[in-house]
Structure formats: structure tokens, C-alpha cells
Amino acid sequence: MKLRIRRRSRTTIGICLALVIAAIALFSEGANAQIPPAQAKARPRVIATTDGEIDDRCSMVRFLMYANEWDVEGLIYSSSRFHWLGQTWSGIEWINSQIDQYARVYDHLKQHADGYPTPEELKRMVYVGNIGNVGEMEQETPGADRIVRVLLDDKPGPVYLQAWGGTNTIAKALSKIQKEHPTQIEKVNQKAIVYIILDQDETFRKYIEPNWPKLQVLGSFRQFGVLAYAWSRLIPPPQRVFFERPWLEGNITVNRGALAGAYEPDNGAFRSEGDSPSFMHQIEVGLRSLENPSYGGWGGRFIQEKPGVTNVWKEAEDDGNLYKPIWRWAEAFQSDWAARADWCVKTYRDANHPPIVNLESPKDLDAAPGASVKLSVKGSTDPDGDKLSYSWWQYREPGTYKGEVSIRNADRAVASVQIPTDAKLGDTIHLIAEVSDAGKPALTRYARVIVTVRGVN
């Protein structure tokens, strides 16, 4: 390209040269070639408590690769019925050790997305909680005190308390609030959300549930198992390939830097990340799963355990399968993880980044039986300029209308759905748009439209 510069002032010429330099910088190869983030969003606040089992350590590798998705408010050693101080205990240094590996890839990661905390910031979030014995919740510990401070602060947004081991350190914090700050109980009820993996001590059923009936608790008591040690028996063959040795070595554990290198596979294959659903639930991919536990997303789907009695939610089935609410997304979330592993070693221009979905339709709308409703994600874009593909489908289980709906042009950005004539007033229909790019690995983001059947005005 030639620039023709006529006789102008030095100021004008300087501006032109600056524009040329900026353009060259924008299109040049290199570590700093980066597309600005589309829009800053409020991030969930999270505290992870862990007993340090090998699958916790595997989950932490993935967690750190996604650390920009949340405000990490605590990484707390706790206990469980399997692991406590002196009982198959992994010590209180392994989190810092993994953060050291994170530090070695941090400069690469922060090229790809805003919000990655510095290694120093993460290390300031590491605390020791109640680790002395299984279910111990009497001792005053820095970890429990950290949870108390976060729950009582005035920062906006919910706080997700993830129990990768037992709930005893969380229970200790809640007990301290109940005893010392009783006027703050309702504030905590509105602020805290507990996500339990397996229920690994007695403090949830014996203390938290009876004393905090309004507190929202998501219990992945069995569903997490699809990503735990028995994954190969629970995931169907088409999805299983994304956990086997060739895929894991080709996408995660080999030549992907120090953090991915800290992963502990089983003979090269996926070992277990039974705790990962507790934070995958909070990765914002467009499924709106944080709005209501029954909607479902990467971290599973839930129904109320005792409606009207407590705010405890247990795992739900999709198509009669308890594990499908997680494995149905397996190709997408494993490919997404593979992209994060690439981020650890590649420049922005050499890696893939997820598409940006533009939902033109209202995310919630009313329609009468028999009506045709337009659905549109027209205007969706990809930061890498990759071609996009589209798939609209009905997610039946979260909706109250259990029949099938007809979607026209389901493979296009603009589609339409025919509301069945037998749909009853008040029925809900959940419609998912999957928008995938043509990059390597191919990445997917979503939009969810919820149609409520109403009468004609």
C-alpha cells in the first residue's frame, strides 16, 4: 500500500505516520497481537476448598487456566472423609507449587484474555482451613476466617463456595457467623451459594442444612462422577474420545507448558477431575445456568431436593440419564480446555478464541400456542475471523413443555420455532443456540431463549 502525502503541516504528517505505525503493529505477528476484549463483565466471586486428593490437583490445573473467569477470593486447604492431616494427606504446599507453574505461563495467558490474576495475587488467596480431622469444625482457622470476611463484606455479587472435599471449613465459617454475627444471616443467605462435590463429611447434613435452610446449596452428590475415576464407564463412546490418552497428550499434557505439565494423568489418559464441575458451573458460556440451577450447563443440572423446606438442589437427569447433564457438553468443554492449554504457550494470533454470540432475539419471550417465533443470533462474530456454524435445538428437560417443538432453519443464524398447539398456558420451552467456530480446536458458545406460553392479548 502506498501513501501519498501532499504538502501539509508537520503535525498532520506526524498523525499520518502514527496511524501507519499503529496499523503495522495491529497486523504484525507477535506476542502482543491481540484483539481487545468486547466488553468487561462482572465476574463471579469464588472460594475453592480442597482436600488435596490427586483429582483435586488435576482440577486445580484446569481451574488456574480459567482463573480470569472469576474473582478468586480463596484457595483453602480443608479435609474430607478420605484425606485429613496425617491421613493420606498431600500437605499444604501443592497449591503454591501449582501457582508457581501458573507463573511460568502467566505472560502467555494474559495475552489472550483480560482478568488473569498475577501469581502473587493468587498466592495471597491461599489459606489453611480445618484440616485436623474429618468433619472437624471447632478450631479457629485462617481459612474459615477468610470465608467469614468475604461473606460479610459489602462487595456485590454472589460468592460461590466450592467444596472439593468436605464442607467442614465452610461449616466452621457459617457457624461463626451464626454465633457472632446473627444479624448478618439473611445477608449471607442471599449472597453465598455452596456447590458440594459428593458430600465428603457429615457437616453439611448435620449442621449446614438444618441451620441454614435458606442458603442455596447445589449438591453434585453423584453426577460429578462422570468426570471422576469412573469416567470411562459413564461417558458414551463419541464423547469418551476427548478423555483418552491420544487426545489428552495431543491437546493438554505434551508441549503445553509448565502448568499443563503439572497435570497428573493415568497412563497418559484423563485420570479424574471429580471437583471440576464445581467451577465449570461458573464459566460464563451463554447457557444462563447461573440464573437458575434447573437450567443446566457445563457444571450439571439440578432440581430442588425438598421444595419449600430447604434451598438444597440435587442433580437432575437428562433423558433418564443422571450423567448426561455434564457429558452432553463434553466435546465443547474439553475443546475449550485444549484452547486454554494452547494459550499457555502460543501467541494470540496462533491460538483460537471463542466466538462472541450476539442474541438479537429477546432472551425471554411470550408466545401463544400455534405461533411462530423468530430466533436470531445474527451478528455473532469470531475474534480470529473464523467462519461460524450454527445449531438451534430444544433443551427439553429444563422446560415444562415435554413434547418436541419444530425449529425451522435450525442450522442458520436466523431460525424460527413453531409453538405447539397442545402447549399449555404457562409452559416453558428452552431453546439453545450453539455457535461454533472453524478454528482448531473448534470452540462453542451459546445463547438460550426461554419461551413462556401465554394467551393472545
Mean pLDDT, the chain cut into blocks of 10 residues (457 residues total): 32 35 32 39 93 98 98 98 96 98 98 98 98 98 98 95 98 98 98 98 98 98 98 98 98 98 98 98 98 98 97 98 98 98 98 98 97 98 98 98 97 98 97 98 98 82
Which among 39, 242, 37, 52 has a CA at the least distance from the CA of 166? 52
- Phi-psi domain of 64 (left: phi exceeds 0; alpha: psi -120 through 50; beta: other): alpha
The strands making up 414-418's β-sheet, listed across from edge to edge, are 372-376, 414-418, 406-408
pLDDT of residue 41: 66
Instruction: Tell me the whole-structure pTM to 2 decimals.
Output: 0.91
pLDDT of residue 451: 98
pLDDT of residue 417: 98
Please provide the DSSP assignment of 409-454 as one string: TTTSSEEEEEPPTTPPTT-EEEEEEEEEESSSS--EEEEEEEEEE-
Which among 415, 401, 403, 428 has a CA at the least distance from the CA of 372? 415
Which domains occur in the chain, in start order? 45-343 (3.90.245.10), 364-453 (2.60.40.10)
pLDDT of residue 26: 31
pLDDT of residue 20: 32
Task: Give the integer Cα–Cα distance in Å for 167 and 137.
Answer: 9
Q: What angle do CA 167, 165, 56 make, to 5 degrees?
A: 150
Task: Give the integer Cα–Cα distance in Å for 229 and 244.
Answer: 13
C-alpha cell at 243: 478423555
pLDDT of residue 335: 98
pLDDT of residue 156: 87
Termini Cα distance of the chain? 60
| Single-letter amino acid code for the residue at 84 | W
- Specify the DSSP class assigned to residue 222: S
C-alpha cell at 440: 482448531
* Alpha helix segments (H runs only) across 164-263: 168-180, 185-191, 203, 209-211, 231-234, 237-240, 245-248, 257-261
